[in-house]
A and B are shown apart, each in its own frame.
Chain A
């Protein structure tokens, strides 16, 4: 019956009955036949009876099951073979011979046309990269994948059924996995190994890179503190790696803001890391860009990792304060306590404990020392950041010719504070002196204003950083009103040119501030601030906290803390990994810290250590703000300097620093990893070898076990004339035998 058309046959049941019914009927027939056989067990000539009954039972079973012979035309189905080509960025790296990894892949594939055609006879070839299916055209485009996750790519391919079984996977890669298998060694209990084994398909790994060689000197990491204290040593820890080069000596250079600070000659062993530590002292306050670089060597695969920059915010180690007090008082005592307890302050105090007219007794029985006027106000003056004159009359100490030194130091950046008292301001004889030139208030005849005096914020004081004692403006206003009143104050009623009144009390300008070239000056016309420090809480207000905050603010303002700058340049980030989007914000504030609208800003962008790249003119909006976007900056450290002016008046300048460092993890771990490829193949029972090594006929693949039935025919065995004849013959033979033996 089976002709050339049909290549296979099998038995099938054509019964329309459900399988359960068929089974039940077959069981009934079998049991009934067995009962009959048992009943015939004592009869004579039972042999023939039994034979007839068994044959009849088989005949009945045949009618129930309706067996048929099915003949088929069968064809085996070709399965799939997935070929994954790593198209991550590391495949773009070139060897010393100049050929990139992806070019190596393309060349081998082009030369393997015959082998691939042969494979396609038995397998459906499917092409993928690490992200998904690709076409031949895709393969010819540059590799742009930003990561290499081999395990995920294998799992994606495995779960892409495509309607056909998967015979195997061919993975063509450099093995430079930087995600799941980055540091994975595929130990027996590792999750990665279990995931590989769960693929249940051979993964044939073809190494596309190691034959090309890989040479690279890389600065893997630069670690330092984000903040550093000026004039204090900081450590910059550099991690270098030599991949592929024989042991060599490399000069490692440290630059600060483009200028070379130090160079170390470092011996780098092949395929080993090396730590180098630079010790350096920043000598300027502000943002410092430290750049570590090594030279590029011939044949290096990656040049971008030969230089790395970090930004360090250099801050004051301590604010050095000179407190000169004319006589002991509680105001002096609590200010001293605040300054001494402040870890950011290095305090030198000089208190006048005895005047020339006092009679304390023999000198040797006193603990007093001479007031070192000359030393303090000549050689040592520049070592201070802030000088405080507290209720101090300079005249008994022959200081008149030192006062210009203080004025000049303030112009160069010193902060100066005059605190009230009966020996301060005009009462201290400062009218017409060099100190008068720098004070925020004008000195007239000595006068005292008696209290109680309630401090009141001026409009400028409501926004000024010195008088900002609370989180919100409204609470700040309320807090000032609730502070303990002052007993008295030096009466000063007029501001000097360019000064700003921050707090008034009665008719007197209690707190006033003034910028003097590079320095700043602050006047506080009372010696009663200690009452805030020593006051109990008043209706939910904590004057002690206000005291601390006031003085903290004052010190920061006096030393020009960057947060108190009036022209602020704020890059959106310190590091930009995406060079396509560098945003910088600008804020311009007036002397009373109000936003300056329509201020002219000249923003200069320079690449540190090179040249000015760009100058933009901006105008601030009503919030005193402006914004700038720099597109497509090259890798490097940049500084934006902004000068602000309103009309003909210069407001000030500020700067901000940022680093553009397009970063790809593809280049962090770009070395070929043959060991990983071997481990993957071993875990999945695949083949591993070099791509160029004619590997196509060595692939380990699953045997195809699925067939396709194109044609079939059923030949019924029971439902025909011959079956009926057999039944009639059986029935007749049984009847005849029974009659002859007398059983009927």
Chain B
């Protein structure tokens, strides 16, 4: 089956949109996973509580596990479903990112709080992204 069929008239719109959604989802996922620890380290460089960084990163991993566990319930909820679930998770990420820019710079507690929400929303969108590819099942 030629892969060019993904871009024929019937599937082109869906393929391109899912690709962009997937790219955004993974970009944010790896941003939180790879770059955020560096930012935390630079924020805590003169602090006596540098160890809290590792505690917080561990807590983020637990939140991701919980979000992955909750994803099926959210996806199957009659008021949300796949598409709205995806939409609202990205919306939460957008709002929290802007809130970090407004109030999170220098405020460690606010930064922790909003990054945790982004992590949960991003984990949920990750689960939805996989599910988007199997609508017919």
Partners in one complex: no
